[in-house]
Homo-oligomer: A and B are copies of this chain.
């Protein structure tokens, strides 16, 4: 920086002013400084800047170590938005579960880095236990978690999506609609089941048949084998597309035609859903927008330093494909 100042014939402070877009620099001076920066290939030292300002323009992103469609897509959405806003993203992945200890470790790491704020992708019920240990002195946005907590949140309205799926099936004349739920440690699993129940309750139908999976196709397959035996069931709402794939496979193996005998609806709209056999009716979530909006929430907290807890909800939408049809028979 001193070198740049010397080349431009100004003081280092003027260079700093140019770098930070300070208004009171004469255009001619600014141009000379910029030329010197260019000539010397100067890049400001962010560590020094962070030291003196106390801000790092880095934000922490804590996520589960999962390749599941949702969290990964959200991660990229956040990274892109952060980059466009001039922030760096420091990622810390937790293991396969969120416990207070590992979450605290992750936050300690990020706090040591003096991150401006933290975005937490916390889709597990265990996050409800872990969240109280979150520091209140650091701006935090929780994505896909914390339904009642004290933090700003951004979520997709899982309940509404599940309800839409269920109502779609009811509209097709189905009366016995089973559910293949996600693992109970995932909040989304609960919310989707709740949406399914709400949809059924509105139509005066019973929510008796619930099978529990673990998001994998394998578990869906096992649920599908059980469903194939339940002749009264004419429709299934499956809590994610991967499990729906397993359900389709099992029903196919057992000679139960989809959608003629049983309708199947998934959740997520992964890229492959359109190419399942048959192509899958499912609920689409815009994870990319979720990422962008949750960054906005964090930046809003940083800018205004207001402590208003904002809750941002994004609406999912039903995608109708070939795995659902009107109920046949009486």
Given contacts A91-B89, A216-B271, contact A51 B43 (CB under 8 A): no
Contact B45 A51 (CB under 8 A): yes
Residue of B nearest to A93 (CB): B79
A120 to B152, CA, bound (A): 33
Residue of B nearest to A276 (CB): B249
Chain-B contact segment, one of A106-114, A174-182, A305-313: A106-114
Chain A: residues with Cβ within 8 Å of the partner, total of 50
Contact B252 A47 (CB under 8 A): no
Chain-B contact segment, one of A21-29, A69-77, A142-150: A69-77
A58 at the interface (CB under 8 A from B): yes
Residue of B nearest to A279 (CB): B249
Which chain B residues border A80 with CB–CB below 8 Å? 65, 93
A312 to B121, CA, bound (A): 33
Contact B245 A275 (CB under 8 A): yes
Q: Please state the number of chain copies in the assembly.
A: 2
A46 to B50, CA, bound (A): 9
Contact A242 B216 (CB under 8 A): no
Which of the residues B43, B108, B114, B245 comes within 8 Å of A112, measured between beta carbons?
A: B43
A92 at the interface (CB under 8 A from B): yes
Chain-B contact segment, one of A160-168, A188-196, A217-225: A217-225
A81 to chain B, nearest CB (A): 11
A246 at the interface (CB under 8 A from B): yes
Task: Give 6 closest A-B pairs by Cβ, nearest first.
Answer: A217-B275, A47-B50, A217-B272, A47-B51, A65-B76, A246-B275
A interface, CB within 8 angstroms of B: 43-48, 50-51, 56, 58, 61, 65, 67, 69, 72-73, 76, 79-80, 83, 88-93, 108-109, 111-114, 216-218, 220-221, 242, 245-246, 248-249, 252-253, 271-272, 274-277
